[in-house]
């Protein structure tokens, strides 16, 4: 009996020990699981915080870039750059005071003031004026520019005409040249990129073929210099430009032949229709309030050919 009791006690003790060992393992597993879950939560929170910070930084950078773009845009939005030939009086030239002036320049300045633009000028190479316009070096070509259908076909926005022009031959008074027939074998100068140069290559090519030579210059003033120095016998030129030059220089005359009529307009890039419309609207307002005529009065030789004043 004692032996049985001893065995029973031993078995009970063993079972108790096993039970205690089992409870310790479960607790350890539970502790380990809780630690993993805590670590995962901490990692998740850290990741979410990092993403949130990156998002906030990106949003801040985006806002800064947007504001910078707005500031840059606002700086350029208020400027209007007029593309001119600076040696084309009376429409556009540099005055004795070193400032840009001329009928076109004065009108453009007044338009800019009316529309709230800051006025600026870019001197174009007349033979490459449309290339420079396309490159964004200026906002328009506004300098006694002849309107061509080919410009419209190429996509340029052209304003309504504002001046009626004719091409003429200017010679020295004592040259003995009284008509274009007398130019046979003579040297004639013309500015590159002008309507006059185009006429001599097309409609007046027969006349041009009679010349001894056709000399091209990059400005009318250089053409006049060549004529004054005797290097050429005549200059094929826009009439108002010739008249303006002759008013300041004696000894020249115009042949009494109009060799080509044309109209002046303002050229804009293809996507600047609204800009063209706003310019034309301002011109209409100037005509209505008399400020356009006030500028024209300074250039009496132009008045009768100004479309806006003779509608």
**Are 147 and 218 contained in the same domain?**
no
Query: Looking at residue 258, what is its pLDDT?
Result: 85
Across-strand partners of 93? Answer: 87, 101
Q: What is the predicted pLDDT for the residue at 279?
A: 98
Domain count, the chain: 2
190 lies in some domain: yes
pLDDT at 45: 56
Torsion of CA 253, 256, 257, 261, to 10 degrees: 80
Q: What integer pLDDT is reported at residue 34 of this predicted model?
A: 53
DSSP 167-196: EEEEEETTS---SGGGGTT-EEEEETTSHH
Asked if residue 70 belongs to a domain, the reply is no
Judgement on whether residues 107 and 195 belong to the same structural domain of the protein = no
Do 87 and 153 belong together in one domain? Answer: yes
Pair 127, 242: CB distance under 8 Å: no
The CATH number of whichever domain residue 102 belongs to comes to: 3.40.190.10
177 and 242 both lie in a single domain: yes
What are the per-10-residue average pLDDT scores of the chain (311 residues)? 39 39 42 49 53 52 44 59 97 97 98 97 96 98 96 97 97 97 97 94 96 96 96 97 96 94 97 97 98 98 96 82
Is the domain of 202 the same as that of 251?
yes
Residues 123, 145, single domain; the answer is: yes
Residue with tokens 């046979």: 184
Judge if 151 and 196 occupy the same domain. Answer: no
Cβ atoms within 10 Å, residue 216: 15
Q: Which segments of the chain are extended strands (E)?
A: 79-84, 87-88, 92-94, 100-101, 118-123, 140-146, 157-158, 163-172, 187-191, 213-217, 234-238, 252-254, 261-268
- Are residues 186 and 115 both part of a single domain? no
Could you tell me if 172 and 134 lie in one domain? Answer: no
State which residues form the domain around 82: 77-163+263-309
pTM of the model: 0.73
Q: How far apart are CA 10 and CA 12, in angstroms?
A: 5
**Which residues, listed in sequence order, are joined to residue 166 by a DSSP beta bridge?**
261
């Amino acid at each position: 009996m004692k032996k049985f009791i001893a065995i029973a006690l031993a078995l009970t003790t063993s079972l108790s020990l096993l039970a205690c060992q089992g409870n310790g393992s479960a607790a350890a597993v539970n502790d380990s699981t809780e630690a993993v879950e805590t670590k995962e939560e901490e990692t998740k929170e850290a990741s979410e915080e990092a993403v949130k910070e990156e998002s906030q930084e990106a949003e801040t950078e985006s806002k800064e870039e947007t504001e910078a773009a707005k500031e840059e845009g606002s700086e350029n939005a208020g400027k209007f750059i007029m593309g001119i030939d600076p040696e084309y009086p009376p429409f556009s030239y540099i005055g004795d005071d070193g400032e840009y002036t001329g009928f076109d320049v004065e009108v453009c300045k007044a338009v800019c003031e009316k529309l709230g633009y800051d006025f600026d000028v870019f001197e174009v190479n007349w033979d490459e004026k449309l290339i420079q316009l396309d490159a964004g070096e200026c906002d328009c070509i506004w300098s006694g520019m002849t309107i061509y259908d080919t410009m419209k076909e190429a996509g340029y926005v052209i304003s309504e005409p504002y001046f009626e022009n004719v091409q003429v031959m200017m010679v020295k008074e004592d040259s003995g040249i009284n008509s274009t027939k007398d130019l046979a074998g003579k040297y004639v100068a013309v500015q590159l990129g002008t309507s006059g140069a185009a006429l001599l290559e097309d409609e007046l090519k027969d006349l041009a073929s009679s010349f001894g030579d056709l000399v091209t210059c990059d400005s009318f003033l250089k053409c006049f210099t060549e004529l004054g120095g005797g290097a050429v016998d005549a200059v094929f030129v826009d009439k108002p430009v010739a008249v303006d030059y002759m008013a300041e220089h004696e000894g020249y005359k115009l042949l009494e032949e109009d060799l080509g009529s044309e109209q002046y307009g303002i050229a804009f890039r293809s996507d600047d229709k609204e800009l063209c419309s706003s310019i034309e609207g301002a011109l209409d307002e100037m005509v209505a309030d008399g400020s356009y005529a006030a500028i024209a009065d300074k250039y009496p030789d132009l008045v009768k050919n100004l479309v806006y004043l003779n509608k």
